[in-house]
A and B are shown apart, each in its own frame.
Chain A
Amino acid sequence: MTQEQTIPLFEEVVNGWNKLSLSGGVKKESSDLRRARQSAFDKFRELGFPSIRNEEWKYTNLARFLKDEFTIEGWEVPGKTVVPDAALVKKAGITLLDCYQIVLVNGSWDGTIGGGTLPKGIQLLKVAEARQDPALSVYFEKQAAWGDQHFANLNAALFTDGLFIRVDAGVTVEKPIHVIHVYTSESNLLVQPRNVWVVNRNAELSVVESVVSGGTAKIWVNGLTEILVHQDARLHHTMIQTAGAGVRLVQQTTVHQHRQSLYNNFTITLPGADLVRNDLQARLEEEHTESHLYGLYLAAGHQLVDNHTLVDHQKPNCLSNELYKGVLLEQSTGVFNGKVYVHKDAQKTNAFQQNNNLVISKKATIDSKPQLEIFADDVKCSHGSTVGQFSEEALFYLRARGIGEESAKSLLINAFAFDVTEKIRIPEVEAHVNELISLHIPVNHA
């Protein structure tokens, strides 16, 4: 049986492709970009949506999420924006954080920036415009990089909007950019934001992304973010996912790192969205790069949270450090798959990975899979994975001081998360994340 017969979204995607060829501003795009879209679409059509027979999706069964019908929105009026719900934007706001704030609604930005005028040397553009700009088109044409990745190909074929950021060489942007992604709809929707961020030589930027949702419908977000961190550049990237019920969030982030660059990533997932699948890929393409990947996932309800990471050590003398911590509540399911690939050339690689899980409820599960593939012989690599429960001793100690069982558990969850949250470089963001953790620990854990 083909997917056309079983998955309504597959049919909608094919229809969408036909519509896109006629409108959506694609005609104004470069011929290379149009070719890239075509081959991405052909690839997706060949691959279809992933099933559990696919190794990368073994523990994440999409069947129950793909039953619903979704409509693709975007190309009738490319770049069209919905006015964001003020309450949602407020919810995503970070108390006391001095930042530039921009809001994307269903992947589109209206061009307004809160928090002051941007300094010289940084450009923010709508992707709806950037993709038609001959000078920027090159950033959207790299289809070959998506390989056999189902959702990345789907996005590469059909994307219409998103956020383009470029920082000029030598520029340090002092204030972080807070990007609030609002997803809201009254009818089921497939949204495919495409973001491209370029941090040029010796430039520095901090981006904090918050994902929130509203409305009553189901929304499938298939996000694709491509990041280029050039020589000596530094990018600090935090993603806080607090989308609510009905949202299926598939986010692929691919980072290309050049010589002596630094990339810090914090991926924080909180209870809410039905499905979260993060694919974070750090490609260390030149020597002496440094990458730190920190993750914290708190899953509850029937949520499925899957973090797939890839650290691709292509060249010698690079350092990668990865720490993912998970707290599984209620009937939630967590998946962690951390692949570290050290190429034959990548001698003197230092690659460290750790995944720790706290399973609070008897009905919650976690599949943790470290995956090291090392082809160089002079490297330092380590990995570890643990699954545990509350320490009874610690719980008793807190209770013996008058702290109720629920508060004690809440304190211990915060403490467990602390190894990750303390690394967040911006104190206001750290406080915000800690608050979210406390807020989302349900009263009844069982």
Chain B
Amino acid sequence: MLTIKNLHAEVEEKQILKGINLTVNAGEVHAIMGPNGSGKSSLASVLAGRENYRVTQGEVIFKGENLLDMSPEVRAREGVFLAFQYPIEIPGVSNINFLKTALSEIRAHKNLPPLDAKEFLRMSREKQKLVEFDAQLVNRSLNEGFSGGEKKRNEIFQLAMLEPALSILDETDSGLDIDALRIVSKGVNKLRSENNAFIIITHYQRLLEYIVPDFVHVLYDGRIVKSGTKELALELEEKGYDWLKEESREKATTI
């Protein structure tokens, strides 16, 4: 579904990603871990098409197409979804209206007719239930006055509504208490299928107890320095990141 080859990117002329290689297949969940400033969120931003990031080298192929050539909205319509680390509050845009607009543009892109009001409402109710999202929040202005946890849950609700092929969760667990974390994870687990894939960016192993990944990658200084299975996450929890930093430095000097 997604192939990242030798991806280099910079922001404000500072090199952030220094050669990422990653392949994600349908049905897989990949966790990306790493210390602060290693480039985790930058990778998410580059994949979603944030405009202040400049790709200087490498390629990203999504469902056979060059993802980097697409505008952010086309990436979303093709099935890339970024759950934001800091969802934006937009007073005056109602949550439901926003979703209706997004869904109909995505459907139009796929040559599908827009859902009628009744179908949309039915779908919205069903997904609210699935991800345990408060119906009252659905009718409010987009994220306005939502608590940190409510914002994150809204991201998962949007994910459920838009049914993307590839979801990138950017530190969705940050700022969540244990109950919210459990609800968010439950939602994601229900949405997992053999047709979609998830990239879960997280700082801590905690989230991975709830959403069990197929692969774990450690990002350090703009590169993936280690990949493994879920056991790697536990090892990181135990030993921290320092041993990897050492290893990576040694590698860099020997090359």
Contacts and interface: CB of A to CB of B under 8 A. Distances in A.
A415 B91 contact: yes
Contacts of A397: 84, 87-88, 90
A111 to B, nearest CB: 42
Contacts of A411: 90, 93, 97-98, 101
B6 to A, nearest CB: 25
A399 B76 contact: yes
A121 interface: no
Contacts of B77: 402
A260 B98 CA distance: 42
A404 to B, nearest CB: 5
B93 A403 contact: no
A416 B88 CA distance: 15
A401 B162 contact: yes
A327 to B, nearest CB: 13
The listed residue with most A CB atoms (<10 A of its CB), out of B75, B81, B84, B101, is B101
B92 interface: yes
Contacts of A398: 90, 93, 98, 102
Given A402-B162, A404-B105, A414-B92, A396 B98 contact: no
Interface in B75-110: 75-77, 81-82, 84, 87-88, 90-93, 97-99, 101-103, 105-106, 109
Given A396-B50, A412-B90, A414-B93, A403 B105 contact: yes
Interface string B60-87: 0000000000011101110001101001
A143 B50 CA distance: 61
A140 to B, nearest CB: 43
A401 B109 contact: no
Interface in A391-407: 391-394, 396-405, 407
Contact of B91 (A393, A407, A418): A418
Contacts of A345: none
Contacts of B76: 399-403
A419 B92 contact: yes
A432 B82 CA distance: 35
A282 interface: no
Nearest to A422: B92
B63 to A, nearest CB: 15
Contact of B82 (A394, A400, A417): A400
Contacts of A408: 73
A321 B87 CA distance: 32
B101 A407 contact: yes
B69 to A, nearest CB: 15
Interface string A415-437: 11111001000000000000000
Interface string B16-52: 0000000000000000000000000000000011110
Given A393-B88, A417-B92, A419-B92, A399 B101 contact: no
B54 to A, nearest CB: 15
Contacts of B101: 403, 407, 411
Given A403-B73, A403-B105, A405-B71, A412 B49 contact: no
A396 B91 contact: no
Contact of B109 (A393, A402, A414, A418): A402
B59 to A, nearest CB: 21
A393 B93 CA distance: 14
B90 A415 contact: yes
Contacts of B75: 400
Contacts of A412: 90, 93
The listed residue with most B CB atoms (<10 A of its CB), out of A392, A394, A396, is A396
A326 B102 CA distance: 26
A416 B158 CA distance: 23
Contacts, number: 80
B92 A407 contact: no
Nearest to B103: A402
Contacts of B105: 402-404, 407
Nearest to B158: A401
Contacts of B98: 398, 401, 403, 411
Contacts of A400: 48-49, 72-73, 75-76, 81-82, 84
Contacts of B92: 414-419, 422
Nearest to A401: B102
A408 B98 CA distance: 9
A422 B99 CA distance: 21
Contacts of B71: 399, 405
Given A402-B76, A402-B105, A402-B106, A396 B93 contact: no
A394 B90 contact: yes
Contacts of B106: 402
B156 to A, nearest CB: 13
Given A402-B102, A403-B73, A412-B93, A396 B51 contact: yes
Nearest to B101: A403
A183 B92 CA distance: 34
A254 to B, nearest CB: 32
A101 to B, nearest CB: 30
Contacts of A402: 73, 76-77, 102-103, 105-106, 109, 162
A418 B73 CA distance: 24
A405 B73 contact: yes
The listed residue with most A CB atoms (<10 A of its CB), out of B48, B81, B88, B109, is B88
Contacts of A422: 92
A396 B72 contact: yes
Contacts of B84: 397, 400
Contacts of A392: 51
A416 B76 CA distance: 25
Nearest to A392: B51
Contacts of A419: 91-92
A393 B76 CA distance: 16
Interface string A226-238: 0000000000000
8 contacts: A396-B50, A399-B49, A399-B71, A400-B73, A401-B81, A402-B76, A411-B90, A415-B91
Given A401-B99, A407-B105, A408-B73, 6 more contacts: A391-B88, A394-B90, A401-B76, A401-B98, A414-B92, A415-B90
Enumerate the 6 nearest inter-chain pairs by beta-carbon distance, A residue then B residue, closest first: A415-B92, A418-B92, A402-B76, A401-B102, A399-B72, A397-B88
Interface of B: 48-51, 71-73, 75-77, 81-82, 84, 87-88, 90-93, 97-99, 101-103, 105-106, 109, 141, 158, 162
